[in-house]
């Protein structure tokens, strides 16, 4: 019974803390980390008009974290006048990815079909990644809106991974691993990513070994990127709530250990 | 085929063999030789002993707990993988063993999954296990069901099952993603004993905190051999150990080589990267 | 007989796909492309199998009276969405997309958000310094938590560096070791499936 009660109080405390933090509207400054700067430098250093394949490898559940990440990256790429080709390897990411690209493109006056295109969803992600290595038009004969591949100016001269500067995987799970295992290892395409915070440590070994070129992670990464492109968004807005939550968890760990040691001492003395 | 012959073929018709992938081919051939050697020469060496794994010792107790408390056992392979994934196959091997026990003890086995092919295979595996123990009438096909392919739809469905059925034991064995802690905490809340194992290093951390027993990394692959005593699976575990020794030796040689090159200022120091 | 045919097909395809990986010849690439296309087609049929099974199972359970409200809602969702998609299409502004964005996405985000609450309760319950290694782990976890928040850097200059060191040295070493073990396990299991030693995927039995 005591355990049930303490759990509910913990949940309530967290809810109140996050509600207050989000409601306050305070934005915290976050120094830019080397990792985020690497990804920024990669997109910044590409010649204007470079082709980037943007893969929305996430589900609807992680949208609160993925949206700021995706928005920051797409805004930067459009600002640099890169040609973006969007796609999705998970069904739920399809409509979300299209909407994100549309919104970011509208901010920079980009035209669908000319400056960017969206190919849509392909099932069986491993098969899709391998198939695109052989031929992207054969994998996606039509785009998301049903238009033939050849009719889109944004897709001119793009037949395989050799014709793209890199793959930007915006992911909330381990799909980016498949991009590296199949796209990078077999076809040599450069892989960069924007991932949720939970996946950052998963990809650290790949980043260290060079299999992944650059990575930005979590709401903090989004906040840092927003600083770099001078466009505040969801990342900065969420940092106070994230910081408050982290501190809350630290306090809970402290309280848990305190109760543990007190109970142990009581047991030893009795 | 020798390396020189492969190079000749590549030189005459470059497209047939990609010379850049020669190191990968060599590594693959060495691995295959080691695995076949361990598998087919095991009879001379006697039975290969696997060290005690706490989570696997607890399987029998977990099933017994379900029988004593007259509550079901819930086994789920996670959302992250499909049937082609080796982790899922390892999980199926454990399912076969668990199903035999639940058949014998007349304990209800509930198996929700996110993939229809996994569901079909699990139904066959369980039906076979129940038939082999002579308890085919105890098999309930409806308990092995496809819930949804959506990650958090699956998490919500399994959570609902755990909350309503209140299983005495929960087996979380397979490929898990973010739903792992949600399932583990819910199992903890209903007082179930939990045995978990996954190939995701991130989710392992959650399982270690929230579950009673966790199979780390390849312990999941060794589990099926440990439980069944199947010689071929134990031979594979031995092969893995042999390959690990080879990889360790390669790492040591590469580190020493790289260190010498750094100290002497030599430039050719990347023969091991491919 | 059926099992033997399946094993032969599995072996044949396994060997062919292994061999084509090392070749850039148009024939090899053609084989690769064809297999990938068939793989996607098979996946679509597998999904159909799941939908039919889900429908049958839920109808049976509704008749038995177990968990009726949940199963009725599930079936309504399963049947209504395709109807909505066919009638109203799935493009921008369609009812299908509205339901996806305003019902499914928030529901999924809600379940995902449970993680935050469960992490908090799991931390309170499970993160105890019961031994020296556990205390070291606890200290490392607190360092990482602080470094990932906005106050990490301002709190102390060495904090982000220490957290980075933990992530890139001991944590990564352990992770790589686990990954190597998992990779080897996957390798041996895959090889056993290809040569027919492992037959669980056929539904158990020898």
B107 assigned to some structural domain: yes
CA dist., res. B144 & res. B158, Å (int): 12
Compute the average pLDDT of residues B131-152.
92
B49 assigned to some structural domain: no
Residue B1 has a pLDDT of: 43
A171: its two tokens: 């992911």
- Closest-CA residue in chain C for B93? C200
Give residue C160's pLDDT band: very low, low, confident or very high (50, 70, 90): confident
Q: Which of residues 115-144 of C touch B (CB under 8 A)?
A: 115, 118-119, 121-123, 126-127
B136 assigned to some structural domain: yes
Residues B66 and B146 in one domain: yes
Residues B115 and B248 in one domain: no
Q: Which domain holds residue B23?
A: 3-40+230-264
- The Cα of C128 is separated from the nearest Cα of chain A by a number of Å equal to 5
The size of chain B, in residues, is 274
Residue A97 has a pLDDT of: 94
For A11, the closest of C32, C117, C151 (CB atoms) is C117
Q: Given CB atoms, is A181 within the 8 Å cutoff of chain B?
A: no
Is the Cβ–Cβ distance between A256 and C128 less than 8 Å? yes
Residues B215 and B240 in one domain: no
- The Cα of C37 is separated from the nearest Cα of chain B by a number of Å equal to 17
A239: its two tokens: 């940092």
Domain residue spans of chain A: 1-27+236-270, 30-231
Residues B191 and B203 in one domain: yes
Helix (H, G, I), strand (E, B) or coil at A25: coil
CA dist., res. C126 & res. C120, Å (int): 10
Compute the average pLDDT of residues B108-114.
96
B213 assigned to some structural domain: yes
Q: Which of B196, B150, B146, B147 is nearest to B176 (CA)?
A: B196
- The backbone torsions φ and ψ at residue A54, rounded to the nearest 5 degrees and listed phi first, read -105, 115
Residue B103 has a pLDDT of: 95
Whether this model's pTM surpasses 0.80? yes
Taking an 8 Å cut-off on Cβ atoms, the answer to whether C190 and B86 are in contact is: yes
List, for residues B209-268, the tens digit of each pLDDT value: 899 999 988 888 888 778 877 777 788 888 888 999 999 998 899 889 888 888 888 765
Q: How many domains does chain B have?
A: 2
- pLDDT > 70 in chain A, percent: 98
B172 assigned to some structural domain: yes
Residue A270 has a pLDDT of: 76
- pLDDT > 70 in chain C, percent: 98
C185: its two tokens: 């396990």
List, for residues B176-201, the tens digit of each pLDDT value: 988 999 999 999 999 999 999 998 88
Residues B116 and B222 in one domain: yes
- Mutation for C interface: A253, A254, A259, A267, most C CBs within 10 A: A253
Residues B218 and B99 in one domain: yes
Chain B partners within 8 Å of A173 (Cβ): 80, 151, 177-178
Alpha carbon distance, N-terminus to C-terminus of chain B? 20
- pLDDT > 90 in chain A, percent: 69
Give residue A205's pLDDT band: very low, low, confident or very high (50, 70, 90): confident
Neighbours, chain B (3 or more CB pairs < 8 A): A, C
- CATH number reported for the structural domain that contains residue B121 in this entry: 3.40.50
Taking an 8 Å cut-off on Cβ atoms, the answer to whether A172 and B178 are in contact is: yes
Q: Look at residue A1 and tell me whether its pLDDT is greater than 50.
A: no
- The Cα of B267 is separated from the nearest Cα of chain C by a number of Å equal to 26
For A174, the closest of B150, B152, B177 (CB atoms) is B177
Taking an 8 Å cut-off on Cβ atoms, the answer to whether A92 and B200 are in contact is: no
Residue B5 has a pLDDT of: 55
Number of A to B CB contacts under 8 A, please give it.
25
B141 assigned to some structural domain: yes
Residue B7 has a pLDDT of: 55
- Give the gyration radius of chain C's Cα atoms: 26
CA dist., res. C32 & res. A227, Å (int): 44
Is the Cβ–Cβ distance between A28 and A227 less than 8 Å? no
Compute the average pLDDT of residues A169-183.
92
Residues B108 and B91 in one domain: yes
Question: Is the complex ipTM higher than 0.85?
Answer: no
Residues B107 and B156 in one domain: yes
Residue B172 has a pLDDT of: 96
B273 assigned to some structural domain: no
Taking an 8 Å cut-off on Cβ atoms, the answer to whether A208 and C153 are in contact is: no
List, for residues C171-182, the tens digit of each pLDDT value: 888 888 888 888
State whether CATH 1.10.390 applies to domain A30-231. no
Q: Given CB atoms, is C18 within the 8 Å cutoff of chain B?
A: yes
Give residue C101's pLDDT band: very low, low, confident or very high (50, 70, 90): confident
Count of beta carbons in the 10 Å neighbourhood of residue A109: 8
Q: Look at residue A204 and tell me whether its pLDDT is greater than 90.
A: no
For A202, the closest of B150, B152, B202 (CB atoms) is B202
CA dist., res. C147 & res. C152, Å (int): 4
Residues B133 and B190 in one domain: yes
Residue B55 has a pLDDT of: 85
The pLDDT mean for chain B works out to 86
Residues B234 and B224 in one domain: no
Residues B162 and B101 in one domain: yes
Q: Given CB atoms, is C127 within the 8 Å cutoff of chain A?
A: yes
| Category of A102 on φ-ψ map: left (φ > 0), alpha (ψ -120 to 50) or beta | alpha
Residues B182 and B111 in one domain: yes
B168 assigned to some structural domain: yes
Q: Look at residue A119 and tell me whether its pLDDT is greater than 90.
A: yes
């Amino acid at each position: 019974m005591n355990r049930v009660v303490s759990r509910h109080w913990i949940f309530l405390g967290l809810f109140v803390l996050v509600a207050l933090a989000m409601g306050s509207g305070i934005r915290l400054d976050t120094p830019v980390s080397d990792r985020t700067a690497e990804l920024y430098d990669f997109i910044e250093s590409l010649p204007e008009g470079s082709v980037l394949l943007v893969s929305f490898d996430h589900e609807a559940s992680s949208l609160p974290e993925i949206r700021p990440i995706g928005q920051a990256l797409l805004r930067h790429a459009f600002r640099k006048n890169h040609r973006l080709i969007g796609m999705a390897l998970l069904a739920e990411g399809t409509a979300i990815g299209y909407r994100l690209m549309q919104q970011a493109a509208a901010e920079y006056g980009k035209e669908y079909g000319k400056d960017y295109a969206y190919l849509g969803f392909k099932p069986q992600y491993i098969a899709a990644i391998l198939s695109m290595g052989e031929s992207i038009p054969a994998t996606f004969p039509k785009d998301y809106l049903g238009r033939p591949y050849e009719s889109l100016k944004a897709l001119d001269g793009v037949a395989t991974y050799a014709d793209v500067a890199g793959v930007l995987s915006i992911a909330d799970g381990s799909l980016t691993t498949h991009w590296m295992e199949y796209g990078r290892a077999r076809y040599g395409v450069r892989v960069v990513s924007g991932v949720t915070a939970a996946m950052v440590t998963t990809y650290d070994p790949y980043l260290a070994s060079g299999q992944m070129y650059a990575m930005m992670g979590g709401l903090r990464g989004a906040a840092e990127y927003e600083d770099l492109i001078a466009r505040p968004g969801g990342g900065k807005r969420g940092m106070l709530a994230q910081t408050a939550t982290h501190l809350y968890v630290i306090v809970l760990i402290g309280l848990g250990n305190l109760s543990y040691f007190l109970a142990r001492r009581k047991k030893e003395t009795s | 085929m020798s390396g020189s012959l492969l190079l000749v073929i590549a030189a005459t018709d470059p497209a047939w063999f990609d010379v850049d992938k020669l190191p990968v081919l060599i590594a693959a051939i060495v691995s295959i030789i080691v695995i076949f050697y361990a598998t087919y020469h095991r009879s001379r060496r006697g039975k290969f002993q696997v060290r005690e794994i706490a989570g696997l010792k607890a399987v029998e107790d977990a099933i017994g707990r379900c029988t004593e408390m007259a509550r079901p056992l819930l086994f789920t392979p996670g959302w992250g993988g499909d049937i082609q994934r080796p982790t899922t196959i390892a999980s199926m091997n454990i399912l076969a063993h668990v199903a035999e026990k639940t058949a014998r003890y007349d304990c209800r086995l509930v198996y929700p999954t996110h993939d229809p092919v996994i569901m079909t295979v699990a139904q066959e595996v369980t039906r076979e296990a129940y038939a082999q123990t002579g308890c085919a009438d105890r098999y309930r096909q409806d308990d092995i069901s496809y819930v949804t392919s959506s990650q958090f739809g699956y998490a919500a469905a399994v959570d609902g099952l755990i909350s309503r059925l209140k299983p005495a034991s929960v087996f979380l064995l397979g490929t898990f993603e973010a739903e792992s802690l949600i399932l583990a905490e819910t199992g903890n809340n209903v007082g179930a004993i939990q045995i978990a194992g996954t190939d995701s290093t991130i989710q392992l951390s959650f399982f270690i905190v929230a579950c009673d027993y966790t199979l780390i990394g390849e312990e999941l692959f060794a589990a099926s051999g440990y439980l069944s005593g199947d010689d071929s699976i134990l031979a594979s575990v031995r092969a893995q150990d042999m390959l690990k020794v080879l990889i360790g030796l390669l790492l040591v040689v590469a580190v020493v080589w790289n260190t010498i090159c750094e100290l002497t200022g030599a430039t050719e120091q990347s023969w091991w990267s491919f | 007989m059926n099992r033997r045919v399946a094993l032969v097909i599995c072996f044949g395809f396994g060997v062919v796909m292994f061999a084509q990986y090392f070749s850039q010849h148009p024939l090899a690439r053609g084989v690769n492309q064809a297999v990938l296309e068939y793989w996607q087609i098979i996946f679509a049929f597998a999904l159909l199998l799941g939908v039919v099974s889900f429908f049958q199972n839920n109808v049976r359970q509704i008749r038995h009276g177990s968990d009726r409200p949940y199963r009725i809602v599930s079936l309504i969702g399963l049947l209504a969405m395709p109807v909505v998609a066919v009638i109203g299409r799935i493009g921008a502004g369609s009812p299908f997309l509205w339901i996806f964005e305003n019902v499914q996405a928030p529901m999924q985000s809600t379940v995902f958000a449970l993680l935050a609450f469960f992490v908090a309760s799991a931390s309170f319950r499970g993160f105890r310094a019961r031994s020296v290694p556990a205390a070291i782990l606890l200290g490392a976890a607190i360092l990482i938590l602080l470094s990932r928040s906005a106050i990490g850097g301002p709190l102390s200059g060495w904090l982000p560096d220490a957290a980075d060191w933990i992530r890139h040295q001991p944590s990564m070493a352990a992770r790589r070791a686990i990954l190597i073990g998992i990779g080897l396990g996957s390798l041996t299991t895959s090889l056993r499936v290809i040569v027919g030693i492992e037959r669980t995927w056929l539904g158990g039995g020898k």
